[in-house]
Structure 1
Amino acid sequence: MNQKNNMDNQLVFEDASAGSSLAEKMLNKVPEVTIFFWIIKIMATTVGETAADFLSETLNLGLTITTIIMSIFLIITLFYQFKAKKYVPKIYWLTVVLISIVGTLITDNLTDNLGVSLVTTTIVFSIALITTFVVWYRSEKTLSIHSIHTVKREIFYWCAILFTFALGTAAGDLISEGLAIGYWKAALMFAALILIDFLAYYRYKLNAVLAFWIGYILTRPFGASLGDFLSQPHADGGLGLGTVGTSALFLLFILSIVIYLTKTEKDKIKKSANY
């Protein structure tokens, strides 16, 4: 009898564990890290740069009005993102695009409206991002994006994402404009750093979580420099495609991929991962 009870208890424990594991996977609010993830991420960073310029300069809304409008849209989208019980591609990636724009605008406001230097903003946002990671890890004992299944972790996650975009904008502008390196050279430099991070992970077994966040941070200034190179006029070292054309082109690509992922569910997390 005791043996049977022990076996029954073990089965109950195993079923509860399996149910808990399944619930966590269903509640995970982020996509699988695939090639599609990085393609959309880079495009979103480019849109963040070009769309911010389009709204504030081309439409003459100004940085302050543009920041208020886009922040309101971001807050509304975040409401639906937090309300969702699992990863929903259209909501998640809309949030990423909007937070990319807002992150860009935050840096632009500090530098253009308040006169804060790019060196200072780069340092400040670096400290803010590191602090977020430290507090996140101390609280949750992990920085893995595949464990985003509680409200607290999702708050940490989006705070980190916002600071990566703000930092990337500051660092990208500092390299390409502040140091007068130029847009395409800055883009190539950040692309090289991303490649080094990629090789360090796949060839030299760099910690997966660390490699992911390094790549995530570097793709922001890469995308920003790429966006400026495509949209800015020839006189400023760009290709002169304009903010309208560049933004529309990349948004179309993002929309197409998100529709594809929604139908195929290729970026849904199907197994546990270490990043």
Structure 2
Amino acid sequence: MTRSEQLLDTARPGLTTALSKVPEVTAIFWVTKVLTTGMGETASDFLVRRINPFVAVALGAVAFAVALSLQFRVRRYVPWVYWLAVSMVSVFGTMAADVVHIGFGVPYAVSTVFFAVALAAVFGVWYATERTLSIHSITTVRRELFYWLTVLTTFALGTAAGDLTASTMRLGYFASGVLFAVVIAVPAIAHRSLGLNAIVAFWFAYIVTRPLGASFADWLGVPASRRGLDLGTGPVTLALAVVIAVLVGYLSRTTEATAS
């Protein structure tokens, strides 16, 4: 990123986000993001257990493709379009990680390392091509492609990491959620107190939102035999979807008010 881009990102965020197709990073952004990760986890589990898993994955892929197509068609950040795409990435990203483990028998430790390497490769190619990983620079089709490929990979990595701590390391879902709630505070503290680069801090936290939301959602939905509250993956998915819809409705109103 050039010096002028850095100044634009820090001194004039309103302008950069107005030109970008992704939202400003605020508290409500992080809350909505965590909720979508939880919803994607329970929705995926619900679908693959209620219908044929191959059909469920196919439906997830179609929904993901349609939502992403809508996102690429709009010319600016539209809250419901953007968060629909994030939600479908969450569902399909969960399915992709589960297919690697369940379908191919790959241990969570191996899949976590695999997706971590894949994410590093995506970041490397993105930076080598565009010379920036800033979300405030998502103003071209190519950068948007890199952005969504990164988002999808973070979801797969987060899913594998969350399952690794909950299942392989036997922490259980609630303890895993608490663990990742602590971990997600690390980049914020490091950025404010230790001068950690803002872009690094953002993507660090973004990755952790996945296992954070998914762990607590699993804890709510799975039966007591799996150390959960047994509320059911279907009801938890529906409840999270309703809360997400309310937040996105609020974001839509505030975005329109800002634009006018």
Is 2:154–2:207's contact at 8 Å kept on the other side of the alignment?
yes
**Where in structure 2 are the equivalents of 1:1-275 lying within 5 Å?**
25-57=17-49, 59=50, 61-265=51-255
Distance 1:62 1:190 in 2: 32
- Pairwise CA distance, 1:200: 1.1
Is 2:44–2:95's contact at 8 Å kept on the other side of the alignment?
yes
Is 1:190–1:221's contact at 8 Å kept on the other side of the alignment?
yes
Distance 2:102 2:157 in 1: 15
- Pairwise CA distance, 1:206: 1.3
Distance 2:107 2:94 in 1: 15
- Pairwise CA distance, 1:107: 0.9
Q: Tell me: CA distance 1:268–1:142, structure 2 relative to 1, closer, same or farther (3 Å).
A: farther
Is 1:27–1:85's contact at 8 Å kept on the other side of the alignment?
no
Is 1:125–1:167's contact at 8 Å kept on the other side of the alignment?
yes
- What is the percent sequence identity of the aligned residues? 41
Q: How much is the aligned-residue C-alpha RMSD, in angstroms? A: 1.9
SS at match of 1:142: coil
- Pairwise CA distance, 1:168: 0.5
Structure 1 stretch displaced more, 199-208 or 244-253? 199-208
Distance 2:80 2:14 in 1: 23
Distance 1:186 1:140 in 2: 36
Is 1:175–1:181's contact at 8 Å kept on the other side of the alignment?
yes
- Pairwise CA distance, 1:23: 8.9
5+ residue gaps, structure 1: 1-20, 270-275
- Pairwise CA distance, 1:183: 0.8
Aligned residues: 247
- Pairwise CA distance, 1:27: 3.8
Distance 1:153 1:87 in 2: 14
- Pairwise CA distance, 1:114: 1.4
Q: Tell me: CA distance 1:177–1:93, structure 2 relative to 1, closer, same or farther (3 Å).
A: same
Larger radius of gyration: 1
Is 1:132–1:160's contact at 8 Å kept on the other side of the alignment?
yes
Q: Tell me: CA distance 1:24–1:218, structure 2 relative to 1, closer, same or farther (3 Å).
A: closer
Letter in 1 for 2:48: S
- Pairwise CA distance, 1:26: 4.1
Partner of 1:7: none
Structure 1 stretch displaced more, 202-211 or 249-258? 202-211
Is 2:17–2:24's contact at 8 Å kept on the other side of the alignment?
no
Distance 2:258 2:93 in 1: 26
- Pairwise CA distance, 1:268: 6.9
Is 1:48–1:98's contact at 8 Å kept on the other side of the alignment?
yes
Distance 1:267 1:237 in 2: 45
Distance 1:158 1:38 in 2: 17
Q: What is the TM-score with the length of structure 2 in the denominator?
A: 0.91
The one-character-per-residue Cα deviations of 1:118-168 (angstroms, maximum 9, x if unpaired) are: 111111111110000010001111000011000000000000000000000
Distance 2:167 2:18 in 1: 44
Is 1:190–1:218's contact at 8 Å kept on the other side of the alignment?
yes
Is 1:32–1:267's contact at 8 Å kept on the other side of the alignment?
no
Distance 1:189 1:252 in 2: 26
Is 1:27–1:149's contact at 8 Å kept on the other side of the alignment?
yes
Distance 2:130 2:27 in 1: 28
